[in-house]
Chain A
Amino acid sequence: MTIWYAVMALGGMGLALGLLLALASRLFAAEPDQRLEALGGVLPGVNCGGCGYAGCGMFAAALAAGEASVDGCPVGGADLTEKLCAILGVEMKKNTRLTVLVRCSGGARARDKFQYEGIGDCHASIRIGGGPKECPYGCIGLGSCVRACPFGAISVVDGVAVIDHERCTGCQACVGSCPKRIIVPVPYYADVNIACSSHDKGGTLRKVCDIGCLGCRICEKVCIHKAIYIEDNLAAIDFEKCTGCGDCAEKCPRKLIVDAKLDRGPRLMEG
Chain B
Amino acid sequence: MNEDFAEAAEPREPVSGVTEPASEPSGEPVPDEPVTGSGPDGAPPKPPYKKLPDLKGVMMRTGPFLNAAGKGLRAAVRVTAAVLRVIWRILCAIGRFLHRVFRKDSIPNLILVLALLTAVTAAGLGVIYTVTGPQIEAARAEAFDAAMGEVFPGLELAFVKSSFGENVYEGRDADGNLAGFSILVSPDGYSGPIGMIVGVDLRREVTGVTVVSQRETRGFDAKGTMQNGFLEQFAGKNGPFALGNGIDAISGATISSEAVTQGVNDALALLDREIQP
A: which residues have CB within 8 A of B?
2-3, 6-15, 17-19, 21-23, 25-26
Contact = CB atoms under 8 A, between A and B. Distances in A.
Contacts of B117: 14
Contact of B111 (A2, A8, A10, A19): A19
Contacts of A21: 110, 114
Given A3-B126, A3-B127, A10 B110 contact: no
Contact of A9 (B111, B122, B127): B122
A200 B29 CA distance: 136
Contacts of A17: 114
Given A3-B127, A3-B130, A11 B122 contact: yes
Contacts of B122: 3, 6-7, 9-11
- B interface secondary structure, majority: helix
Contact of B110 (A2, A13, A25): A25
Contacts of A23: 107
Contacts of B138: none
B98 interface: no
A158 B114 CA distance: 66
Contacts of A8: 119
Interface in B26-73: none
B123 A6 contact: yes
A23 B113 CA distance: 15
Q: Give the interface SS of chain A, mostly helix, strand, loop or mixed.
A: helix
Nearest to A4: B126
Given A10-B121, A18-B115, 8 more contacts: A2-B129, A3-B122, A10-B122, A11-B119, A11-B122, A14-B115, A14-B117, A14-B118
A8 B119 CA distance: 7
B202 to A, nearest CB: 40
Nearest to A14: B118
Nearest to B123: A7
B125 interface: yes
B126 A14 contact: no
29 contacts: A2-B126, A3-B122, A3-B123, A3-B126, A3-B130, A7-B123, A7-B126, A9-B122, A10-B118, A10-B121, A11-B115, A11-B116, A11-B118, A11-B119, A11-B122, A12-B115, A14-B114, A14-B115, A15-B111, A15-B114, A15-B115, A18-B110, A18-B112, A18-B114, A19-B111, A21-B110, A21-B114, A22-B107, A22-B110
Interface string B94-112: 0000000000000100111
Interface of B: 107, 110-119, 121-123, 125-127, 129-130
A31 to B, nearest CB: 14
A12 to B, nearest CB: 8
A45 B6 CA distance: 121
A17 B122 CA distance: 15
Contacts of A2: 126, 129-130
Given A18-B110, A25-B110, A6 B125 contact: yes
A157 B116 CA distance: 65
Given A6-B126, A7-B123, A26 B107 contact: yes
Given A11-B118, A26-B107, A18 B126 contact: no
Nearest to A23: B107
Nearest to A1: B126
A25 B111 CA distance: 12
Most buried by A among B113, B114, B126: B114
Contacts of B115: 11-12, 14-15, 18
A7 B112 contact: no
Contacts of B118: 10-11, 13-15
Q: Which of B117, B118, B125 has the most CB of A within 10 A?
A: B118
A10 B119 contact: yes
Contacts of A9: 122
Contacts of B107: 19, 22-23, 26
Contacts of A22: 107, 110-111
Contacts of A11: 115-116, 118-119, 122
Nearest to A13: B118
Nearest to B118: A14
A198 B172 CA distance: 100
B34 to A, nearest CB: 88
Contacts of A15: 111, 114-115, 118
A70 to B, nearest CB: 30
A2 B134 CA distance: 14
Contacts of B125: 6
A18 B117 CA distance: 11
